[in-house]
Structure 1
Amino acid sequence: MYDWIVVGGGITGISLSYELQKAGFSVLLIEQHQQLQGGSSLGYGGISYWAGTTLVTQQLCQEGIARQRELSNELEMDTEFRDIDLLLTIEPDADPQEILSQYASCWIAPTLLNAKEACDREPLLNPKGIGGALLFPHGHINLDSFVSAHSQAIQKLGGEIIYTKVDSLLIEGDRLVGVRTEQGEFRSNQVVVCAGAMSRSLLKTSGIRSRIYYTHAEAIDTEPSDLELRAMVMPADTKRYQLEGATTNIDQDSIWDIAGHELLPPSVDAGAIQFCDRRIRFGQLSRVLTDPYAAIDPIQSEATIRKQVSKILPKIAALKGKWRNCLVAFSSDNLPLVGSLKEYENLHLFSGFTSPTVYVPALSRRFAAYVKGQPDDIIPLLSPQRFSQQ
C-alpha cells in the first residue's frame, strides 16, 4: 500500500512524484512508456516566466523560474537550464504597436524590435519575412534531462517507478483504492492523474467527466547542426492559443468524447529552438481532433511545417529532420487543473498545463505541502471543481 500513486511520468507527473516523495510520502509513479511520448516529448522546453498577467500567475512565474534555476544542483543532475532570448516575430503586415499592446499586462514587459534589430539578435531570421519582433528574457531546459534528473532523484529517495499502462481506476464500493494496470492492481491511499491529454479518457472509464482538452502537436527534429540559432523563436500572434480558446465551449463539451471530429482547421506557429547538443526542433503544427489516436499524414504535415517556417527561418526549414507528433493538454480557462475531484476526495488531477515548464515545478512543491496539511492560497483556486457550477 502506497501513500500516493501518480499516473503519468511526463514533466507533470515526474515533478509531482519527486515533491511528494521528498515531503515524506511513499510514492509509486506509473508511466506507460520508458521513452517520453506525450506533450513532454515534443515541447520546446521554453520557460515563459515573463508571461504572468494576474497576481496568481505572476506569483507562480516567480516561483517557477526560481525553482528551475536551483533544480540541477538539488537533483544532482543537469537539466540544461539556461537563460536565452525569446523573439516573438511579428508578421510583415501586422501593426507592431497593436501586437505590443497584447502583452501590456505581462509581469515583464517586452522590448519592441524592428526587423533589422531582430535579425541582429538572431541572424538566421529572414528580414523580409518579419515586420519586427518582441524580445523577452526567457529560460530553457531540456525536457528529457528534466525528466531523467527527477526520475533518478525519486528513486534515490525511495520512491518507485514502474512502466506499464493504467487501464482503469480501482474502485471498491464507493471508495477509490488504487489503479488497475496491465501488470495487475496497485493500491494506495491517494491517486493523482498526471496523464496530460490522456487524463480525460482514463477518468471517463470510471464515469468521471473532466474539462481537459488537447491538440495534436507536430514538429520536426533535426540531427545536431552546424547552424547556430541564438534565440528561441516563436510568433507573437500564437495561433495555437486562439485555437484552444475556440474549442472549449461547455455546450459542446460532449463532442470531445466522440472520435472522428476535427473542430477547427489546423494552424502553424512557425518557430524553432536549438538544444545544447545542437539539435534543432522546429514547427509547430496544431490540430484539434477529438480522437487521440487519429491517423495523420506525416508527409503532408511536414511539407506544411517547412513551408511556414521557411518564411521566417529559411535555413532551418531546409534542414533534414524527422517529423514527430504528440498530444498537448489544456483547460478551458488556460489555468491548470490541480486538486481533488468531486467523485472521490482521494482522487486528484494535476493536468492541463499550458505553460508546464514554469508552472509545474512551483505547483508540485505547493501541492505536496498542501496535502501534508500546509495552508495554500493558490491550490484551491485551481481546483477541477471550479467548473462544477458551469
Structure 2
Amino acid sequence: MQKNYDWIVVGAGFTGASVAYELIKKGFAVLLLEQNPKPDNATRYSYGGLAFWSGSTALTRQLCDQGRQRYGILSSELNADIEFRELDLLLTIDRESDPDVVCQSYGHVAQPPRLLSIKEACLLEPLLNPDVISGALTVRHGHIEPEKTAQAFIQAFLRLGGELVISQVLQLNSFQKSITVTTTTGIYKSAKIAVCTGGISRKLLQESGISMQTYFTHAEILETAPTEIKLSTLVMPAKLQRFQLEANSTQNDEFWCNDGNEIETSILDTGAVQFLDGRFRLGQISRILVNPNATVDAKISEHWLRSHLSQILPGLASLPAIYHHCLVAFSKDNLPIIGSIAEHENIYIFSGFSNPLVFIPPLAQRFANSISGHDDEIIHQLSPNRLKKNVEI
C-alpha cells in the first residue's frame, strides 16, 4: 500500500536536510529523497564559510544576525559537532588595485573589513606571498564543516521519524490536491513538495514542464588529504569576480532554455580554506555552461588553478589534490527563491542562495513556520513570483 506524505523534500544537501528537519519538527510526515548515497553536490565541496558580517540591506542584515543566533545553538539542538568556529578571513588585494578604493567598496556591509598593509597581511597569514598583493582586508568569519552539518540535520530528521530514500527523481506531476514524484525506484505521493536540488533545480523543473528563473555555475576546486601545513586564515580575493559573472549570464533568460547553448566565460577567484582535520579546499573556478551535465577538462582547470595559487599561496600550489566539480545555484537578484510556484501551488522551491550556509538555517525555520500558518513577511519577499513581476527588494 502506498504511503502518503505531507511533504516530499527533494535533495539531501545542506538545503534539503535543513528544510526536511524544520518541517518534521512541525509535525508533518516528511520523505527526503536523494539520488546519491553520498551526495556529490555544492555542500560536499563548499568552503564552509559563514559571512555573518556581509549583510548589505535591511533584509540580508537581519538574516545574517538570525543565522549567527541559529548557529549558536545548532550543535546542541542537533546533538552533533558541526565544527562551528570563528577564524580570520583574509581578502587579498592584487598589486594593480588601490587598497583604499577596494576597502571603500565594502563600506555598505554590516561589519566592514579592516584594511591591512602588506606586512600586516603576511603576519596574519605567513603562507601569503607579499610580492603579488598591495594589501588585504580582514574580518572575523564563521566556519563549519558543511558535510557534517548536513548529516547532523539528516540524523536529527530521522530521529524525529522522518524517512530518507536514495532514489533519483525523474518527474513531478502536480494535481489539484496532491503531487506524485516518479523516481528510479518507485512513485511517491505527497500533498506538497519542496525542490531543494540546487544547480539541477532548473532542469528538474523543466523536465516536469515548469519554467523557473534559477541558474547555476559549474564550480571547480581541488581538495587535499590532511596535511601538516597550517593555514592561519580563510583566504579569498577582495575583488570577487563570481557575482559579476552571474549577473552577466542572466541578462537573457531565453539563452538558458537550450542545453546546447554554452557561455564560454569562466573566472577564477583564487582562495583556500583548511578544515580542522588538516584538509584543504583550494579554488575556485566558476564557469557558465547551460548544460548541467556538460563536461569540463579537469587537467586544464587544475593547471589554471595551481598556476594562480602558486602566486598567492605558493606553499599550497604543489600539494597532491583531487579535482572536484559541482553545480552552484544562484538567482537573478542574488536573493533566495523560496515559496510555491505559480500555477503549481503544491510545488515549492528553495534555492538560489548567494550566502547559503548563513541564510539557509534561519530561512528553513521561517519557511516551516509559514507553512504551519504563521505568516512571514520575509518568506513573502523571497517568493518566486517576484521574478515574474520584476520587483526589486
Do Structure 1 and Structure 2 share a fold, with TM-score over 0.5? yes
TM-score normalised according to structure 1 size: 0.97
- Deviation of 1:374 after TM superposition, in Å, equals 0.8
The corresponding residue for 1:191 is: 193
Distance (whole Å) between structure 2 residues aligned to residue 61 and residue 107 of structure 1? 9
Structure 2 letter corresponding to 1:179: V
Q: Is the 8 A contact 1:260 1:289 kept in 2?
A: no
The corresponding residue for 1:14 is: 17
TM-score normalised according to structure 2 size: 0.97
Structure 1 letter corresponding to 2:105: Q
The corresponding residue for 1:269 is: 269
- How many residues were matched structurally? 387
Q: Is the 8 A contact 1:7 1:13 kept in 2?
A: yes
Distance (whole Å) between structure 1 residues aligned to residue 180 and residue 15 of structure 2? 19
Distance (whole Å) between structure 2 residues aligned to residue 119 and residue 262 of structure 1? 40
Distance (whole Å) between structure 2 residues aligned to residue 6 and residue 273 of structure 1? 31
- Indicate whether 1:123 and 2:126 are aligned: yes
- Deviation of 1:298 after TM superposition, in Å, equals 0.8
- Deviation of 1:259 after TM superposition, in Å, equals 1.9
The corresponding residue for 1:109 is: 112
Q: Deviations over 1:163-201 (max 9, x none)?
A: 1000010234x5542311111111111111000011101
SS of 2:52 mapped into structure 1? coil
The corresponding residue for 1:230 is: 232
- Indicate whether 1:171 and 2:174 are aligned: yes
Q: Is the 8 A contact 1:29 1:160 kept in 2?
A: yes
Q: Is the 8 A contact 2:174 2:346 kept in 1?
A: no
Q: Is the 8 A contact 2:336 2:353 kept in 1?
A: yes
The corresponding residue for 2:69 is: 66
The corresponding residue for 2:151 is: 148
Select between 199-208 and 53-62 the one with higher mean Cα deviation.
199-208
Q: Deviations over 1:100-145 (max 9, x none)?
A: 1211110111100111111111111111121111111100011110
Q: Which runs of 4+ in 1 moved over 3 A?
A: none
Q: Deviations over 1:138-166 (max 9, x none)?
A: 00011110111111100000011111000
Q: Is the 8 A contact 1:52 1:106 kept in 2?
A: yes
The corresponding residue for 2:160 is: 157
The corresponding residue for 1:29 is: 32
Q: Deviations over 1:6-53 (max 9, x none)?
A: 011111000111011112111111011121212111110000111110
Distance (whole Å) between structure 2 residues aligned to residue 260 and residue 138 of structure 1? 40
The corresponding residue for 1:297 is: 297
Distance (whole Å) between structure 2 residues aligned to residue 66 and residue 316 of structure 1? 34
Distance (whole Å) between structure 1 residues aligned to residue 66 and residue 10 of structure 2? 25
Q: Is the 8 A contact 1:178 1:191 kept in 2?
A: no
Distance (whole Å) between structure 2 residues aligned to residue 382 and residue 178 of structure 1? 26
Q: Is the 8 A contact 1:176 1:347 kept in 2?
A: no
- Deviation of 1:254 after TM superposition, in Å, equals 1.9
Distance (whole Å) between structure 2 residues aligned to residue 191 and residue 334 of structure 1? 24
- Deviation of 1:309 after TM superposition, in Å, equals 1.2
SS of 1:36 mapped into structure 2? coil
Q: Is the 8 A contact 2:174 2:344 kept in 1?
A: no
Structure 2 letter corresponding to 1:159: G
Q: How does 1:275-286 map to 2 (within 5 A)?
A: 275-286=275-286
- Deviation of 1:227 after TM superposition, in Å, equals 0.6
Q: How does 1:221-260 map to 2 (within 5 A)?
A: 221-249=223-251, 252-260=252-260
Structure 1 letter corresponding to 2:51: S
SS of 1:37 mapped into structure 2? coil
Q: Is the 8 A contact 1:268 1:286 kept in 2?
A: yes
The corresponding residue for 2:136 is: 133
Q: Deviations over 1:331-367 (max 9, x none)?
A: 0000010011112111110001111110000100000
Distance (whole Å) between structure 2 residues aligned to residue 305 and residue 261 of structure 1? 25
Q: Is the 8 A contact 1:46 1:138 kept in 2?
A: yes
- Indicate whether 1:315 and 2:315 are aligned: yes
SS of 1:327 mapped into structure 2? strand
Identity %: 45
SS of 1:204 mapped into structure 2? helix
Structure 2 letter corresponding to 1:214: F
For structure 2, which runs of at least 5 residues remain unmatched after alignment?
Answer: none
Q: How does 1:342-361 map to 2 (within 5 A)?
A: 342-361=342-361
The corresponding residue for 1:213 is: 215
SS of 2:107 mapped into structure 1? coil
SS of 2:122 mapped into structure 1? helix
Pick aligned residue for 2:5 from 2, 6, 15: 2
The corresponding residue for 1:97 is: 100
Structure 1 letter corresponding to 2:55: G
- Deviation of 1:263 after TM superposition, in Å, equals 1.8
- Indicate whether 1:50 and 2:53 are aligned: yes
Distance (whole Å) between structure 1 residues aligned to residue 339 and residue 174 of structure 2? 19
For structure 1, which runs of at least 5 residues remain unmatched after alignment?
Answer: none
Q: Is the 8 A contact 1:169 1:176 kept in 2?
A: no
SS of 2:108 mapped into structure 1? coil
